[in-house]
Structure 1
Amino acid sequence: MVKEKIKISVRDLVEFILRCGDLNNEFFGGSNLRALEGTKIHKKIQSSKDENYKKEVTLKYEREFDEFIIAVEGRADGIIVDNGNVTIDEIKTTSANLGEIDGYYNPLHLAQAKCYAYIYSIQNDLTTIDVQLTYYQIDNDEIKYLRYTYSIDELKTFFDDLIKKYYNWASMLYNWIKERNSSIEKIDFPYKDFRKGQKKLMASVYKSIESGKKLFVQAPTGIGKTISTIFPSLKAMKKGLTSKIFYLTAKTIARTVSEETFNTLRSKGLKVKTLVLTAKEKICFNEKTECTPEACMFAKGHYDRINDAIMDIFLNEDNFNRSKIEEYAQKHMVCPFELSLDLSLWSDVIICDYNYVFDPNVGLKRFFQDKTDFTLLVDEAHNLVDRSREMFSAELFKKDFLSLKKEIKGESIKLEKVLSKINSIFLKLKKRCGEKGYFVTDEIFSDLNGYLRQFIGEVESFLSNERKSFVKDAIIDLYFEVIRYLKVSDMYDELYTTYVEKKSDDLKFKLFCLDPSKLLSETLRKVRSTVFFSATLIPITYYMSLLGGSREDYGVCLDSPFETKNRMILIADDVSTKYKDREKTLEEIVGYIHTTVSKENGNYIVYFPSYEYLNMVYEIYKEKSTGYLLKQKSTMKENEKDDFLRMFEDGQNGVLAFCVLGGVFSEGIDLTKDRLIGAIIIGVGIPQICLERDIIRDYFERKYGLGYEFAYLYPGFNKVLQSAGRVIRTEEDKGIILLIDERFLQKNYIRIFPKEWFPYTKVNQSNLGFHLDSFWRSF
């Protein structure tokens, strides 16, 4: 019988067993600059060595026990073999004074190198080996070497002690995996019947994981996408095909649905550890997030208590949601956010926002450094196109630097000087904007980058321990914006462009990611399989091209499970909703709305392409209406959104809500049965014409000859599809979808209609009432 392997990296092993003391995540002292420059510096040092220096050497070691095997793996920065002598090189960047660095500076650095030394020694029958810690000072480019010599016996004693301490944790994990896999094997699909298309979807998900491919799924509302992706993924986990599942979402409501799905499976006997990640700012116990022992009692001594907290929650809970994490963090006096990050290593399923996997600034890097067997389930994947563009882009504003210069006047000559240099560059760029007010270029402006790097160093020097009293949000926010910008500039290639645009009294400078597919693929290549699914992945080729798909990957388009007789698609193509025609056709829009809602008492939502248009129609309609009107506001707090949706409760009839396409009430809400019986969609949802959209159009016109489609048509139509999808949510639902715009019946729209929109009915002001009467009388 093949024994279960409990895998852990050298770094995680060392940090998990040996960490102690305070949590201190303040950025002073260059930690963020080290993160920014670390990889470059590693490569710079490695490339400067001679042929005796082997870089990035993968080392693996397995220790067998009666029940399981502990598999330890890592990558040594360098191994030097010179005249029979072997040295393990561990490279670290720092902004600390090199004179202050000795063997006690950070014991974890030496411990990590000693693990590599032990593994290499036993694999190569060495009795002694050298360890070298290479510290690179990022401010002055100086290097300090600390060298040690160890016997194999010394290293064995050290490494055995680590494994011995980790054994209890590995044993706990091993016993859990057995219990988990046993439950997965026994559990059946939790519902009595399969919906149309559900078996095909589940088979496709399992096949994609088994074959290590990506899967793109266009699955209309009602198929049950959440359970149909989760269930086969769990079965693949039992087979050993995947060790961890990430369920990725764009909105909180989708995270809630996935969490409820796992709870349903638990009620049927499933044993699985799920973690719901919550943003640091939301889960922090303090009013202001400051992760230092001076500012937070949960940070002081955090590492002395964190492992007890992990053991406690792991042994007593299966659902690591926000409330449970907060409960155990309070109990053990540890940071709740850091506890959740640590629990990610001990969870079978991680439910989180897209950015934890894909964003280069906040991603869970502990999971995606190397190739893994993980599975990604990407819910509402249509959202990932613009979200990933946002993740991989960065922007700076001239006013932020000028304001900061005024704020620190007289406090730091060096910082003022570099801010002046940055402002001077912005002034030159402003002149280049000319009469058009903008310019687009492929330049990255290395001189600006140089001053921005100086800015980072000066801010860190300025906000040293002696100047903590001056810490203000403005300087910290700008500091992190510049960090983000410099990270993005390192990724800049032919899939990017740069644009500079005048914005009233300000200047915007942006590194804009046009095509996110390459950068997404860098993460996707490190996992076993990714399943992208949505009710509106139309056209699927568009999403495959932008989300990192390839010819070898799978695409599946499923039919709606609902009877077409339960819904009526009505299209009024005798009204123009183009911006120039809106005021002229207001009365026609009001007439269509009034006729629709008067033919059958119930709840309706009218969707508009903008708040301006919404308000224009609302003001006219409210004078004629006797029903209950709701209007979405441009800014709404969570409780206001909840109150808005509460008006659609079962039994409440006669609500007419005015909402915007692409807003919070156009996707992710589930108004079943008689809570919503109709959606009226005004316009085709085309994004507002702007510089960014035009840049996207020009790029994809050159690349595919589909510039308008990629920039405007497809993203706009997705909003229409999402809004239309609010009406029919279950087999019992009945309702109408009225589309108002002359463009809907043009060929370029009809060819991307989903199958369930056929047949549709063309209507006008005079026959709309007749068709509505016929539909409602049929039940």
Structure 2
Amino acid sequence: MSAESASPATEKAPRYRVAVRTLCDFTARQGDLDHRFTPAPTAQEGIAGHARIAARRGEGYVTELPLSGRYGGVQVSGRADGYDAAANCLEEIKTHRGNLERMADNQRALHWAQVKVYGALFCMERGVSDIRLALVYLDVASGRETRFEQRLAATTLAVFFDDQCHRFLAWAESEARHREQRDRLLAGLAFPHASFRPGQRELAESTFKAMATGRCLLAQAPTGIGKTLGTLFPLLAAMPRHGIDRAMFLTMKTPGRRLALDALATLTAGSGREPSLRVLELVARDKACEFPGTACHGEACPLARGFYDRLPAARQAAVERGWLDREALREVAREQHVCPYYLGQELARWCDVVVGDVNHWFDANALLHGLANANAWRVGLLVDEAHNLVERARGMYSAELDQRQLALVRRSAPAALKRPLARLARQWQEVVKDAGLGEAGAPGRPAYRILEALPGGMLAALQGLVSAITDYLAEHAEGASQALQTLLFEALAFTRLAESFADHSLCDLKREGRGRAVLGLRNLVPADFLAPRFQRAHGGVLFSATLAPGHYHRDLLGLPADTVWRDVDSPFAAAQLEVRIRADISTRLRDRHASLEPICTEMASQYVRRPGNYLAFFSSFAYLEDALAQLRERYPAIPVWHQRRGMPEAERDAFLSRFVPGGEGIGFAVLGGAFAEGIDLPGTRLIGAFIATQGLPPFDSFNEALKARLQARFGQGDDYAYRIPGLIKVVQAAGRVIRGPEDSGVVVLMDDRFARREVRTRLPAWWQLD
């Protein structure tokens, strides 16, 4: 079918609509994957570049020319950058920096495909027999144009257009058939067990209702009820009924991904060999890379060489496979000889359920959020262990500049960068001097200072350095040192966040040794950044065993005003867990030495009363080490092992391996660390926990500034900065003890503040306090 004959006025409405860019991105890329760092213009520079070209063309030049055409059931539309009627020339304008020869071949192929499709649409609309096509590259630094031009007949362009649309249409029809099969499967989805666990049905019903009404849900649900399955099942069931395009299960840590994949496997077991539900696990690039240390381009990596030529076959093989966890995706990538990481990035467009880290939706440049916007998806979000999202999001929207990195670059900087580097170094010294930080840690000089405003002179110097490095790397990319690129990335992150600096963040300066200071932009209230992400989702469920009070997470995460709060009843009985408060012990900093004797006596007495495996949590490594030394000295018969600073994964595994069924001893750990949440030690692997801290953040300048900001914003300074985050850590640590209906154990809270009414009322309702 030709493009011209595909669009009679009487033809019914098209089944598929696609933008020119999306069409060409799918059909026209060729050659190598190439992710060498090449400085690219910003969006603002791109807009300015297009305006500059238009200003050069004269009065008869038309910009943003809308064009549209049909091929069978596909409607293709877009806006051509420019049309010069006098020359009968259609232009596609691309901005760049530096040597144009460095542009990847796959990019050039994509650009030519776009201008050819626009040419075909133009000829269809205007009925012309031929047209001149121009690909115009503008160097934003120099203002120089590089122009490539060809005259093509309408018939030639129609053949090209038909070929692109034919390939896209075949895929689109295959996707439509998959969607019908998927929705039939999900419409008949049954819960995979004979009955729900206690509390699990309530969670599932609340999740389904949230997806049905397009709202957000904060669900506090205890450990052991099957939260993963209790949220995935209703979301999948809601997808065909409420037109949800994609489900995204977002986790804080790798074990959460495995739990989600196991639940999905259980839900889809017995659905037949047809891959009616496509499931993708997104993995970090360093974990997926087959050739660590190799650059991502065809000259260095064999899996990048010819990547786009092999991508169509790899994509087809992957969707036929359907189940694409880390190992399955790796197998497909090996069979097709492509990069597994970038194959996964491509398949995020085509899979029904994506399991990955929270950064894939909430980060500033998140892949899944970008795809949802580009494709207008209706997305159902599930966020596991959501009590961690406040701190994770603060990290996503914070940035640091390290004076040591600047000094490292200056030692070997090329001549072209010496002046902007020197200017930035002078500004660093001015900022340190104005803040009163002693260069060598002089007595009486503060080591930390919160700045009242962004240092304007330093920002200007930083922006100048970014431009200088960017222009330099555009011409000397191969010679760029890792230190120079690191400095550029840090500077870019800092300047971009500085553009949106407001009362949700603060700027601080801290000294970390002689000649080294760190300037920070630190987010305090992630709500301002996350609110649009929740608004973009059709529905979202954030769940955890520790989400109380709901207003804390609603305020700090920017959840919609109509967000529903649900506190699911615990399936555990108070008789399963003995909770004791030692109100005669103070773990405040001034009392810590005096607290060691009663803490060790309490632990030893409980251990003698009921030998078994225990965890003991402390506020810091120093406190932990003091208590450990005293217990060893006074009670040498009790087996002990302890967490160390910076434990590698093998040592963490060895620590947990000591908790064997029927074992005996006490493991010492830091509250809020690797062993305070996210670990599962059921039965007699763990029968008790001692918590010798309230988990309060340190009382320092930063947290006091955080408290003041949260007080001004929400009227909840102390609670939001100190008490609630501390109690979340305490309850998470205590939650390691009871993991199932057959478990029993003890939790000893060792601090007099646990006896206060305002604290006791925030502890889990099913706990029976002595």
Q: Same fold (TM over 0.5)?
A: yes
In 2, Cα distance between equivalents of 1:140 and 1:47 = 12
Q: Post-superposition shift, 1:683?
A: 1.0
Q: Which residue of 2 aligns with 1:481?
A: 490
Output the amino acid matched with 1:140: S
Residues 99 and 63 of structure 1: CA distance in aligned 2, closer, same or farther (over 3 Å): closer
Residues 234 and 467 of structure 1: CA distance in aligned 2, closer, same or farther (over 3 Å): closer
8 Å CA contact retained: 1:359, 1:388: yes
In 2, Cα distance between equivalents of 1:219 and 1:24 = 45
Which TM-score applies when normalising by structure 2? 0.88
Q: Which residue of 2 aligns with 1:197?
A: 199
Q: Which residue of 2 aligns with 1:643?
A: 654
8 Å CA contact retained: 1:273, 1:347: yes
Per-residue CA distance 1:598-617 (angstroms, 9 max, x = gap): 21122111111111111111
In 2, Cα distance between equivalents of 1:519 and 1:127 = 51
In 2, Cα distance between equivalents of 1:148 and 1:158 = 15
Q: Which residue of 2 aligns with 1:376?
A: 381
1:348-367 equivalent positions in 2, closer than 5 A: 348-361=352-365, 363-364=367-368, 366-367=370-371
Per-residue CA distance 1:226-262 (angstroms, 9 max, x = gap): 1111111111222252111111111111111111111
- 1:565 is aligned to 2:575: yes
Indicate which of 232, 235, 253 corresponds to 1:233: 235
Q: Post-superposition shift, 1:59?
A: 8.1
8 Å CA contact retained: 1:277, 1:350: yes
In 1, Cα distance between equivalents of 2:695 and 2:244 = 39
In 2, Cα distance between equivalents of 1:86 and 1:520 = 47
Q: Which residue of 1 aligns with 2:623?
A: 613
Q: Which residue of 2 aligns with 1:732?
A: 742
Q: Which residue of 1 aligns with 2:333?
A: 329
8 Å CA contact retained: 2:20, 2:114: yes
In 2, Cα distance between equivalents of 1:99 and 1:473 = 22
In 1, Cα distance between equivalents of 2:118 and 2:368 = 24
Q: Which residue of 1 aligns with 2:667?
A: 657
Indicate which of 704, 708, 711 corresponds to 2:714: 704
Q: Which residue of 1 aligns with 2:343?
A: 339
Q: Which residue of 2 aligns with 1:284?
A: 289
In 1, Cα distance between equivalents of 2:358 and 2:297 = 28
Q: Post-superposition shift, 1:730?
A: 1.2
- 1:504 is aligned to 2:509: no
Output the amino acid matched with 1:490: E
Identify the range of structure 1 (633-642 vs 672-681) with the bigger mean alpha-carbon deviation: 633-642
Identify the range of structure 1 (273-282 vs 621-630) with the bigger mean alpha-carbon deviation: 621-630
Indicate which of 614, 626, 629 corresponds to 2:640: 629
Q: Which residue of 1 aligns with 2:440?
A: none
Indicate which of 219, 224, 248 corresponds to 1:246: 248
In 1, Cα distance between equivalents of 2:721 and 2:103 = 53
Q: Post-superposition shift, 1:129?
A: 8.4
In 2, Cα distance between equivalents of 1:560 and 1:229 = 16
Output the amino acid matched with 1:635: G
1:330-729 equivalent positions in 2, closer than 5 A: 330-361=334-365, 363-364=367-368, 366-370=370-374, 371-408=376-413, 412-434=414-436, 435-441=445-451, 443-460=453-470, 462-463=472-473, 468=478, 470-505=479-514, 506-623=516-633, 624-649=635-660, 651-729=661-739
Per-residue CA distance 1:735-770 (angstroms, 9 max, x = gap): 11111111112233223223223x311xxxxxxxxx
Identify the range of structure 1 (595-604 vs 178-187) with the bigger mean alpha-carbon deviation: 178-187
Q: Which residue of 1 aligns with 2:164?
A: 162
8 Å CA contact retained: 2:66, 2:80: no
Per-residue CA distance 1:721-746 (angstroms, 9 max, x = gap): 11011111111111111111111122
Per-residue CA distance 1:189-221 (angstroms, 9 max, x = gap): 112221233222222222222222222111122
1:300-339 equivalent positions in 2, closer than 5 A: 300-315=305-320, 317-339=321-343
8 Å CA contact retained: 1:402, 1:419: no
Question: The residue matched to 1:269 in structure 2 has which SS?
Answer: coil
In 1, Cα distance between equivalents of 2:586 and 2:109 = 70
Identify the range of structure 1 (447-456 vs 250-259) with the bigger mean alpha-carbon deviation: 447-456
Indicate which of 179, 191, 202 corresponds to 2:181: 179
Output the amino acid matched with 2:316: M
What residue ranges of structure 1 are gaps of 5+ in the alignment?
762-779
Deviant stretches of 4+, over 4 Å: 2-9, 43-65, 70-73, 77-83, 85-91, 97-105, 113-134, 141-156, 460-467
Question: The residue matched to 2:371 in structure 1 has which SS?
Answer: coil
Question: The residue matched to 2:536 in structure 1 has which SS?
Answer: coil
Q: Post-superposition shift, 1:299?
A: 1.5
In 2, Cα distance between equivalents of 1:44 and 1:601 = 74
Question: The residue matched to 2:675 in structure 1 has which SS?
Answer: coil
Indicate which of 139, 149, 162 corresponds to 1:137: 139
Question: The residue matched to 1:738 in structure 2 has which SS?
Answer: strand
Identify the range of structure 1 (489-498 vs 537-546) with the bigger mean alpha-carbon deviation: 489-498
Aligned residues: 742
In 2, Cα distance between equivalents of 1:425 and 1:263 = 57
8 Å CA contact retained: 2:583, 2:750: yes
Identify the range of structure 1 (602-611 vs 153-162) with the bigger mean alpha-carbon deviation: 153-162
Q: Post-superposition shift, 1:373?
A: 0.5
In 1, Cα distance between equivalents of 2:115 and 2:513 = 55
Which TM-score applies when normalising by structure 1? 0.87
Output the amino acid matched with 1:321: D
Output the amino acid matched with 2:642: K
Question: The residue matched to 2:766 in structure 1 has which SS?
Answer: helix
Indicate which of 22, 25, 32 corresponds to 1:15: 25
Q: Post-superposition shift, 1:385?
A: 0.6
Residues 202 and 105 of structure 1: CA distance in aligned 2, closer, same or farther (over 3 Å): closer
8 Å CA contact retained: 1:38, 1:93: no
Residues 76 and 581 of structure 1: CA distance in aligned 2, closer, same or farther (over 3 Å): farther
Identify the range of structure 1 (323-332 vs 506-515) with the bigger mean alpha-carbon deviation: 323-332
Q: Compute the RMSD of aligned alpha carbons.
A: 3.4
In 2, Cα distance between equivalents of 1:386 and 1:586 = 31
Per-residue CA distance 1:109-163 (angstroms, 9 max, x = gap): 2433554666688789999888775644222345667788888766543332112
In 2, Cα distance between equivalents of 1:352 and 1:176 = 23
What residue ranges of structure 2 are gaps of 5+ in the alignment?
1-11, 437-444
Identify the range of structure 1 (215-224 vs 421-430) with the bigger mean alpha-carbon deviation: 215-224
8 Å CA contact retained: 2:283, 2:326: yes
Indicate which of 249, 267, 273 corresponds to 2:278: 273
Output the amino acid matched with 2:338: V
Residues 145 and 508 of structure 1: CA distance in aligned 2, closer, same or farther (over 3 Å): same
Percent of pairs identical after alignment?
29
8 Å CA contact retained: 2:132, 2:149: yes
In 2, Cα distance between equivalents of 1:594 and 1:544 = 42
In 1, Cα distance between equivalents of 2:672 and 2:495 = 31
Identify the range of structure 1 (172-181 vs 320-329) with the bigger mean alpha-carbon deviation: 172-181
Q: Post-superposition shift, 1:521?
A: 1.7
Output the amino acid matched with 1:510: G
Output the amino acid matched with 2:716: L
In 2, Cα distance between equivalents of 1:188 and 1:54 = 57
